[in-house]
Amino acid sequence: MSFGYQVLGFGSSATHGGFEATGGTIVTSGGYKYHTFTSSSDFITEGDAPALEYLIVAGGAGAGGGGGGAGGLLSATISAGTSEGTYSIVIGAGGSGASTASYGGQGSNSSALSVTSLGGGAGSARGNNGSSGGSGGGSGQDDTASGGAGTAGQGFAGGAGRATPYGAAGGGGGAGEVGNGGGAHVPGRGDPADGGYGGDGVNTYSAWATATSTGDSGFYAGGGGGGNNTSGGITAITPLGGAGGGGNGARANGGTGNSGTANTGGGGGGGEYDGAGGSGGSGIVIIRYAV
């Protein structure tokens, strides 16, 4: 598979026989050379490339009441013989957080080697569905609407909010599982004020995470937790974000949700009923090849 960009660029360099590549932060580990991009840049090759493996994670979404969906995650291998040239690497930004009466911001797409992963779907305002995206956003408190849809092969749907008796928001979807519904995320508990946990990301790429010192304990692309509703004086637990950088939802009355972790694609945590949601985490691109 070949690509036709021919643009000059600068960066760190690595060699592989007659092949040379520049761009990103370069490390060698476990028989592979890794190029890690945490901001937009270029990947520049000279000579016939070996097989290139890539991991592309888009920006996570911001939250309103519902948790923000994680950025889409894509990974595959491009056959040896990629044409030399310069390939633009785009790192998607995380979406902004918003009040529980508004939607958070959508995550932005990440792209590399002519492949694009989709930004996470925003956590919703009260009374609205979560937005679709790489992974879907959760719906808000006092809301019987549904979570947003994820994109097949990139991420999962967000969880639904709960309308009665107090209201609790749904968690954002992750790259590895759906976001949990409000009031139903702890088996045997089901407190109606508990926001749903965010869906976990994936740790299939834990070797990549270890080699490059990225990710969240080996995970990427976790959804944000949905916000609680404790305004009625009831006690709720912290709605955890999904493994992979998802921000926790707010627990306390009027509290702000936590933001997703940078360069994981994690979604932002939802705000408590009168609070604000957290922002999504930016994405990441990693390219590796055997040495």
Question: What pLDDT is stored for residue 6 in this prediction?
Answer: 24
Q: What is the pLDDT of residue 8?
A: 25
Band of pLDDT at residue 148, cut at 50, 70 and 90: very high
How high is the pLDDT of residue 9?
A: 28
Does the pLDDT value for residue 3 go beyond 70? no
What per-residue confidence (pLDDT) applies to 253? 80
Q: Where are the beta strands (DSSP E) in 30-133?
A: 32-37, 41-46, 52-57, 73-78, 85-89, 110-112, 115-117
Three-class secondary structure of residue 207 per DSSP: helix
CA angle, corner 211, sides to 206 and 217, nearest 5? 40
Which residue intervals of 71-205 are DSSP H helices?
A: none
What is the pLDDT, as a whole number, of residue 5? Answer: 24
Query: Model confidence at 192, in pLDDT bands (50, 70, 90)?
Result: low
Residue 195: name the closest of 269, 112, 278, 115 by CA.
269
Judged against a pLDDT cut of 90, whether residue 240 lies above it is answered with yes
* DSSP conformational letter for 102: S
Q: Which of 158, 154, 151, 152 is nearest to 136 (CA)?
A: 158
Q: What is the mean pLDDT of residues 92-114?
A: 96
- Tell me which DSSP letter residue 54 carries: E
At CA 178, angle to CA 175 and CA 182, rounded to 5?
A: 135
- Pairwise CA distance, residues 174 & 32, whole Å: 28
Model confidence, pTM: 0.91
pLDDT tens readout for residues 31-49: 999 999 999 999 999 998 8
Q: Which residue has the tokens 């992979």?
A: 244
Cα distances (Å, whole numbers) of residue 118 to 27, 86, 121: 27, 22, 9
What single-letter DSSP state applies at residue 204? Answer: T
Mean pLDDT of 237-259: 92
pLDDT of residue 108: 98
Is 241 or 166 the better-scoring residue by pLDDT? 241
Only one residue has tokens 């305004």, namely 231
Query: For residue 206, what is the enclosing H or E element?
Result: helix 206-212
Distant-in-sequence, close-in-space partners of 233: CB < 8 Å, separation ≥ 6:
none
Compute the average pLDDT of residues 233-260: 89
C-alpha triplet 137, 142, 148: angle, nearest 5°: 20
Please report, rounded to a whole number, the percentage of residues in the chain having pLDDT higher than 70: 88
Q: What is the DSSP letter of 21?
A: E
Do residues 58 and 283 touch, judged by C-beta distance below 8 A? yes
Q: What percent of the chain has pLDDT over 90?
A: 70
Q: According to the model, what pLDDT value does residue 7 have? A: 25
pLDDT of residue 251: 85
More confident residue, 202 or 14: 202
Cis bond before residue 192 (omega within 30° of 0): no
E strands present in the chain: 13-16, 19-22, 25-29, 32-37, 41-46, 52-57, 73-78, 85-89, 110-112, 115-117, 284-290
